[in-house]
Amino acid sequence: MARRYVIAGNWKMNQTPAQTKEFITALAPMVAGKDNCDIVLCVPFVDIATAVEAAKGTNIHIGAQNVHFEEKGAFTGEVSANMLKEIGTEYVIIGHSERRQYFGETDETVNKRTKAALAAGFKVLLCVGEMLDARQAGITDELVAMQVKLDLAGISADDLKNVIIAYEPVWAIGTGLTATPEQADETCGVIRATVAKLYGEAAAKEIIIQYGGSMNDKNAADLLAKENIDGGLIGGASLKTDAFTAIVSAAQ
């Protein structure tokens, strides 16, 4: 079975509900009929209900940017899977490097959140990636393989079908520095080989691996042409309808 491209926007902490409605209303006709990839927008929690409503009847799917692992309780500031489910969320980003860097997220909490999200029936965009010092020290492969192993610990082969791995080198996020298509493909290949070790060759062939880090309308086609890159997780360029549409078009 050929892998399907998944082009996902990560809006991070951008756009109000009113701006969300305006954006999706403008984007929908631009990406209509571009059905050779799955199109996802991961929006701030408060925008999800508006986004789901605006995306009804379109080929745009809506995701969140995190989810807590407990069902409910005294976890101030957190949001549970059933809360997100009830308002129509289909995808959830877990383990983004900004969560790891600024909010103390660890491979252990990433693993717990991933399990909870899969149990609730979400598709998970699981983020891994090395910092600049790791790349310069030549330990990218080991580090990324370790993240994949720890983040997927205890997750069944069946549940893995709902996991998409996003390879996001931290040094390429929001910096305008993109990994070269060769660098990105090589590390996505390491991720695929790690999945093969854990779940077998068939699972490794099927799993969708995205690249993220300054992907834009100019570089998307070259990145997406690589064998191990099955999509993109896009920050800045997902906030512009033209650029995002161009990336979706590059995945056709």
Residues designated as active site:
96, 168
Stretch that binds ligand 13P, among 22-30, 105-113, 150-158, 231-239 (CB under 6 A): 231-239
Q: What is the largest CA-CA distance in the chain?
A: 48
Interface with ligand 13P, residue 63, by CB under 6 A? no
For the CB of residue 114, give the shortest distance to ligand 13P in the complex, in Å.
16
Burial of 141: CB neighbours in 10 Å, binned 0-12, 13-18, 19+: middle
Q: Which is nearer to ligand 13P, 203 or 221 (CB)?
A: 221
- Residue 80 or 210 with smaller CB distance to ligand 13P: 210
How many whole angstroms separate alpha carbon 58 and alpha carbon 160? Answer: 27
Nearer to ligand 13P (CB atom), residue 224 or residue 233 = 233
Tell me the residue type at 31: V
Q: Which stretch binds ligand 13P (CB under 6 A): 135-143, 201-209, 229-237, 242-250?
A: 229-237
Residue appearing with tokens 């009929």: 33
Tell me which residues in 95-114 interact with ligand 13P (CB under 6 A). Answer: 96
Is 200 a binding residue for ligand 13P by CB under 6 A? The answer is no
219 near ligand 13P (CB under 6 A):
no
Could you tell me how many residues of this chain bind ligand 13P (CB under 6 A)?
14
Choices 68-76, 167-175, 179-187, 193-201; region in contact with ligand 13P by CB under 6 A? 167-175
CA distance 50 to 53: 5
- The Cα-based distances of 90 to 38, 79, 122, 189, 228 in angstroms read 12, 15, 5, 27, 24
How many helices (H) and strands (E) are present in the chain, helices listed first? Answer: 12, 8
Residues 187, 214, 228, 241: which binds ligand 13P (CB under 6 A)?
214
Nearest residue to 175 (alpha-carbon basis) of 213, 212, 210, 140? 213
Under rule CB under 6 A, residue 236 binds ligand 13P: yes
- Sequence letter at residue 135: R
Contact call for residue 235 and ligand 13P (CB under 6 A): yes
For the CB of residue 71, give the shortest distance to ligand 13P in the complex, in Å. 27
231 is a contact residue toward ligand 13P (CB under 6 A): no
Taking the CA atoms of residue 183, residue 188, residue 189 and residue 195 in that order, the dihedral angle to the nearest 10 degrees is: 160
Nearest to 216 by CA among 229, 203, 193, 233: 233
Contacting residues toward ligand 13P, per CB under 6 A: 10, 96, 168, 173-174, 212-215, 233-237
